[in-house]
Structure 1
């Protein structure tokens, strides 16, 4: 199978058509690779203007680890909600396993978000998620999700 057919160039418009997140909680800026229901590569440009930096921390701004995990989950949601049977649905957290934080994420960093869906059964599944800054692993986790209806 030709892997080039999975290269995409999704900006905010396309991302917002797939997931319901909006400012200030939309934490991905673009998607460059996607196999619907299987794999995704997305990016978050971390700027000094992020709403959380004034309080985390004023003297040393660091992106909170929970928001890195959320960015990974949003990237995974783009992949899973791109499957035809999950179109116009919503993805919810079911759990977070084996989360590890390995590098600080600071203003100016470009966070590369990679998620591979490793298990799916009905409306539930699990993804292996890894965030990088340059080529260094910043965070990783197993993300458990449930697919539900929008209400």
Structure 2
């Protein structure tokens, strides 16, 4: 896809099938083809998950931090093709070396860094690091596959 970077939310929504309350990337800041992508998620008290995680002590669930990194990885993959992928979707196939280093709370800005590791057929492997104020909030390696929606 030929896009101008940075990407705003409208351009991200053209690439990802996710919508509120599950769209977890607000802006794409940088893209280096074949190497990396940097995005951002503003975390606000208005997020639905804070109602139950945890009342009186709002903390962004770690799995949603990983999902934000996966969505960033999907934008990386979609940005790596010259043509739209059409009726395809990007699905997690594995997580490795995941670590959570600090809580993410309302008011934080997650900086989502994804680095390409390798591709084999339709499987892409990446390393992701989510930062808040320059500190690692979570990190890990993940793999995902491009699949046809009709095959699911």
TM-score (norm 2): 0.90
Of 42, 46, 57 in structure 2, the residue corresponding to residue 60 of structure 1 is 57
State the secondary structure of the residue aligned to 1:8. Answer: coil
Deviation at 1:145, TM superposition (A): 0.6
Residue equivalent to 2:139: 140
1:36 Cα deviation (Å)? 3.9
Alpha-carbon distance in 1 for matches of 2:18, 2:113: 18
Question: Are 2:96 and 1:97 aligned?
Answer: yes
Structure 1 gaps of 5+ residues are: 1-5
Which among 58, 63, 70 is matched to residue 73 of structure 1? 70
- CA gap of 1:108–1:117, structure 2 versus 1, over 3 A, is same
- C-alpha separation between the residues in 2 aligned to 1:149 and 1:38? 25
Match of 2:17 among 13, 17, 20: 20
Q: After TM superposition, give the deviation of residue 17 of structure 1 in Å.
A: 1.0
Distance 1:99 1:110 in 2: 20
TM-score, normalised to structure 1, is: 0.91
- Report the 3-state secondary structure (helix = DSSP H, G, I; strand = E; otherwise coil) of the residue aligned with 1:100: strand
